[in-house]
Amino acid sequence: MSEMIRNYDVEALVKSDTAHHLHPFTDHKGLHGEGGSRIITRAEGVYLIDGHGERILDGMAGLWCVNVGYGRQELAEAAYRQMLELPYYNTFFKTAHPPSIELAEKVASKLPADFNRVFFANSGSEANDTNLRLVHHYWQSVGKPEKVNIISRENAYHGSTVAGASLGGMKPMHKQGGKLIPSIHHVMQPYWFKLGGDMDPAEFGLHAAKQVEEKILELGPETVGAFIGEPIQGAGGVIIPPETYWPEIQRICKQYDILLICDEVICGFGRTGTWFGLENFGIEPDLITMAKGLSSGYLPIAASGVSDRVADAVMENGGEFYHGYTYSGHPASCAVALANIEIIERERLVEKVADETGPYLAEAIKRFDDHPLVGETRTRGLIGAIELVKDKKTRARFEPDGKAGTVCRDEFFKRNAVMRACGDTMVLSPPLIISKQEIDALFDIAEESLDAAAAKLGVM
């Protein structure tokens, strides 16, 4: 590898980046004021390496996606081989190629038994777009075209296309979005720590699910086509719902004949110690959104898992599905995703998260429970959260919302570790290959960073 390491003129790169690159989810005025971007040039294992040679412990697996860790030569080789053999051909108009066929079969084999088909896209946003199209196509195919309304949750993240932003419940995105899709409605998220008040978690889980039922009754069940949710909300703040929540949602969807879309973009491919997050809660969806861990981010690829209920109906009665992307089932992306799933299987990463590192993380994070800035810690597998509060007892937050999170995140980054702030919730989602020692190293930095943040916020 070392002969491949390139030397970069970091100052010139920062200057050029500032001049020409509009970054996603970035306040550009703020970024430029702070001297521009940190330039990441390489990565290996769970570490990023910046242009100055600093090693940064990546507690977020990139954007919740690099499940098998960085520097996997066999994934690069899978892409290389496939690009030489067949770099591109589409899967429209009665053609297919070996990698798209093999990957569809492989993914279907990991999904619940009544899922036998997948539809490929390039990003989680696109796959959710596809799922939205499939919901409408399904209800039209079975003669109920009026079931157009979709229910989602506040503060959910389902992508950044118009459909993704509409399905999501992020208020700042909605504000900038102009007229988003008006048939998508949002109800309370099952976020006990913030919204639970005096209820115990079990009671609150039922209360949050009840909001879905009330929304269905308000809109009229005959007009509601689907409910969408992540098993554990990721970007919404790693919201692990109370155990009562999903069974009640499931009951409601069945009672009113509403399709359930399970967004597994973050939870899928081992993150929670199972192949899919739905296995934690007994969720029985009709459509499943996958991306990120499908290829561990080495190449862009996403997929919609389509249950037999939906697939059979649209194939029987639907005619042509007028939908697809030029790069649906891109050969190189499929080849990389296949090799990535092989690594997850061979190295038993799902079992490792379930039996070793997940339980270790759950124990290790408890060291913060007594910290004056911390109101709650929670984990499931290798996804976790630390709630930042002004007052531990009352769960009172700092004003304005998000300030404490930003202070904390910057302290982490200064100390060469990445944890993300979702409002005032610090979240983590490291590569699934992280070792116990690396978890300790991450939390040593977290402790120093929390202390520094507490001093800055006047808590200590």
Residues of this chain that bind ligand PMP (CB under 6 A): 63, 123-125, 128, 157-159, 164, 230, 234-235, 263, 265-266, 291
Q: Which two tokens stand for residue 262?
A: 């399970």
Q: How far is the CB of 391 from ligand PMP (least distance, A)?
A: 30
What CA–CA distance (Å, rounded) separates 213 from 217?
6
**DSSP letter for each residue of 295-325:** TTTSS--EEEEEEHHHHHHHHHH--------
Q: Is 211:229 a contact under the CB 8 Å cutoff?
A: no
| Phi, then psi, of 320 in degrees rounded to 5 | -70, 140
Residue 189 CB neighbours (<10 A): 24
Residue 387: strand, helix, or coil:
strand
Q: How far is the CB of 292 from ligand PMP (least distance, A)?
A: 7
Q: How far is the CB of 24 from ligand PMP (least distance, A)?
A: 9
Our CB check for ligand PMP shows the closer of 235 and 238 to be: 235
Q: Is 387:425 a contact under the CB 8 Å cutoff?
A: yes
Our CB check for ligand PMP shows the closer of 65 and 224 to be: 65
Q: How far is the CB of 162 from ligand PMP (least distance, A)?
A: 12
What CA–CA distance (Å, rounded) separates 271 from 23?
27
Q: How far is the CB of 263 from ligand PMP (least distance, A)?
A: 5
List the alpha helices (DSSP H) in 347-435.
349-352, 358-364, 403-414
Q: How far is the CB of 190 from ligand PMP (least distance, A)?
A: 15
Our CB check for ligand PMP shows the closer of 208 and 265 to be: 265
Closest-approach residue to ligand PMP (CB): 124
Q: How far is the CB of 220 from ligand PMP (least distance, A)?
A: 28
Per the document, the length of the chain is: 460
Q: How far is the CB of 167 from ligand PMP (least distance, A)?
A: 8
Handedness of CA 110, 111, 115, 119 (dihedral sign): negative
What CA–CA distance (Å, rounded) separates 146 from 167?
19
Our CB check for ligand PMP shows the closer of 264 and 411 to be: 264
List of E strands, 107-170: 115-121, 149-153
Q: How far is the CB of 32 from ligand PMP (least distance, A)?
A: 24
What CA–CA distance (Å, rounded) separates 295 from 67?
8
What CA–CA distance (Å, rounded) separates 124 from 64?
12
* Angle, helix 436-456 to helix 403-414, in steps of 10 degrees: 130
What CA–CA distance (Å, rounded) separates 126 from 325?
9
Our CB check for ligand PMP shows the closer of 353 and 422 to be: 422
Our CB check for ligand PMP shows the closer of 158 and 378 to be: 158
Our CB check for ligand PMP shows the closer of 157 and 281 to be: 157
Instruction: Examine residue 400 and say whether the peptide bond preceding it is cis (omega within 30 degrees of 0).
Output: yes
Our CB check for ligand PMP shows the closer of 165 and 374 to be: 165
Q: How far is the CB of 389 from ligand PMP (least distance, A)?
A: 25
Our CB check for ligand PMP shows the closer of 353 and 427 to be: 427
What CA–CA distance (Å, rounded) separates 373 from 288?
37
Our CB check for ligand PMP shows the closer of 59 and 234 to be: 234
Q: Which two tokens stand for residue 300?
A: 């862009």
